[in-house]
Chain A
Amino acid sequence: MSVIPAPFSYHRPKSIAEATALLAEHNDEARILAGGQSLIPMMKFRLAAPEHLVDVGAIAELKGIQRVGDALVIGAMTTQHELQLSKTATDAAPILKEASLLIADPQVRYMGTLGGNVANGDPGNDMPAVMMCLDAAYRIMGAAGPRTVKARDFYEGTYATALATGEILTAIEIPVPPAGHGYAYEKLKRKIGDYATAAAGVVLTTRGGRIATCAIALSNLADKAVLATDAAATLIGTALEKPALDKAIAAARAIMSPAADTRGTTEYRTAVGGVMVERALRRALARAKG
């Protein structure tokens, strides 16, 4: 087991334009370095051996959290620690802080970034499901210019996303959910610093105590983060009464296919995946006003 990364050239651009130019120049041989808390371990195990590392940590344009009208715009290089301290972010979408506190451990959260978490493409990352619940959009910049991809369309498989070679995810744009919305992120893990055995996020709104809109998304329960569309649809107009809730949990379990690993068998992780969905739904409904 090697723990010394393969040699590489290091670049530290000061602007997005400079970074995209470097990425275009080195193409497949270049990799973006953000907080490094996923990439550096992969490089130490030689699961990644980029020849050029483009550290985007000195690009001021990638920092900051802003409320712009009905949207919350979070720069890709915002760390989990900074996100947790941001009143702007927590006031607009409190599920962000709730989920962020369940990620890794304090040291990893000081370095790990939101952009890195959503761009990484590891199904064990927690933020992709949260972004799917919130219907966030990712702002992307490449040599060909800017584009935007919805979180719900971004994930293609393990370490496979809509990002093309040479593109940088620059910011995350979150439509601020209505005041009084309910939310919860439930994560079963063996200990602090572990990826989810199973996790589920919920964002919903209610009218007269009944669910009016609902989004449910799952982490580490398939080869990518997934939106449980059918499960959510069965709950519209309900207050999580027994038959509807059971139908929703069954619909969510139907799209789970977690790998058997040290966290449990496929059956076990699917079973507790349903429990996470139920807990998240109940907590979200209890928090909702309307």
Chain B
Amino acid sequence: MAKMHVKMNVNGAEVESLVEPRTLLIHHLRETLNLTGPHIGCDTTHCGACTIDMDGKSVKSCTVFAVQADGAMITTIEGMANPDGTLHALQEGFRMMHGLQCGFCTPGMIVRAHRLLKEIPNPTEDEIRFGIAGNLCRCTGYQNIVKAIQYAAAKLSGAPMQEAAE
């Protein structure tokens, strides 16, 4: 099938490419644009490791065609750090609160939590758990992921910061 021309803004940069219509966005990001932060965990729309932000929505990029993202604004984990290179509050929260072990789910978790905090800046624990229900973690038991998101919510809303969990 003829390749199609697509243009998207990925982490602030305009990128134009030719893609086969059947190319999934996750493959386009990982294999063409070399953005290997979003992971492929299940490839069946269940695990959320491939989550990216597309036009203000948390999306499983294994379940979107790259052609559907023509004209879209996309953020992956590679675009999360602050412009000065320091860690985003969520990245810092995951480090401080031990929100990761193997780290496989983390890029999806952080990008998803970013959209959650944009929509609900001060979520309750229940809202956090419901909000990240599309992201599976095989390691942490979620406890410290919830704490990491709470850390980021507090930091982003200007609260004085607590020390790291031990």
Which positions in A face B, CB cutoff 8 Å? 3-10, 12, 33, 36-37, 40-41, 43-44, 53, 55, 57, 81, 104-108, 110-111, 192-193
Give the residue of A3, A12, A107, A192 whose beta carbon is less than 8 angstroms from that of B59: A107
Asked if B18 is at the interface (CB within 8 A of a chain A CB), the reply is no
B21 x A8 contact (CB < 8 A):
yes
A107 x B43 contact (CB < 8 A):
no
Tell me if A's interface is mostly helix, strand, loop or mixed. Answer: mixed
Asked if B46 is at the interface (CB within 8 A of a chain A CB), the reply is yes
Give the residue of A6, A12, A41, A106 whose beta carbon is less than 8 angstroms from that of B63: A41
Asked if B22 is at the interface (CB within 8 A of a chain A CB), the reply is yes
Chain B residues near A53 (CB, 8 Å)? 21
A57 x B68 contact (CB < 8 A):
yes
B108 to chain A, nearest CB (A): 9
Known contacts A55-B68, A110-B57, A111-B63; 5 additional CB pairs below 8 A are A4-B24, A12-B70, A41-B45, A107-B112, A192-B134
Chain A residue nearest to B70 in the complex (CB): A12
Chain B residues near A110 (CB, 8 Å)? 57-59
The 10 closest A-B pairs by CB, nearest first: A105-B134, A10-B21, A110-B57, A192-B133, A107-B134, A3-B43, A7-B1, A5-B22, A107-B60, A40-B63
Chain A residues near B59 (CB, 8 Å)? 107, 110-111
Measured between alpha carbons, how far is A199 from B60 in the docked complex, in Å?
Answer: 26
Asked if B15 is at the interface (CB within 8 A of a chain A CB), the reply is no
Measured between alpha carbons, how far is A265 from B97 in the docked complex, in Å?
Answer: 43
Which positions in B face A, CB cutoff 8 Å? 1-2, 4, 20-22, 24, 43-46, 48, 51, 57-60, 62-65, 67-68, 70, 112, 116, 130-134
B4 to chain A, nearest CB (A): 6
Measured between alpha carbons, how far is A10 from B5 in the docked complex, in Å?
Answer: 12
A10 x B65 contact (CB < 8 A):
yes
Q: A44-B44, A107-B112 are in contact. Are A7 and B22 (CB under 8 A)?
A: yes
Measured between alpha carbons, how far is A106 from B111 in the docked complex, in Å?
Answer: 13
Chain A residue nearest to B19 in the complex (CB): A10
Chain A residue nearest to B67 in the complex (CB): A10
Measured between alpha carbons, how far is A12 from B4 in the docked complex, in Å?
Answer: 12
B65 x A37 contact (CB < 8 A):
no
Chain A residue nearest to B45 in the complex (CB): A41
Measured between alpha carbons, how far is A81 from B58 in the docked complex, in Å?
Answer: 11
Give the residue of A4, A9, A81, A108 whose beta carbon is less than 8 angstroms from that of B45: A108
A106 x B22 contact (CB < 8 A):
no
Measured between alpha carbons, how far is A243 from B43 in the docked complex, in Å?
Answer: 49
Q: A105-B134, A107-B51, A107-B58 are in contact. Are A3 and B68 (CB under 8 A)?
A: no
Measured between alpha carbons, how far is A110 from B130 in the docked complex, in Å?
Answer: 14
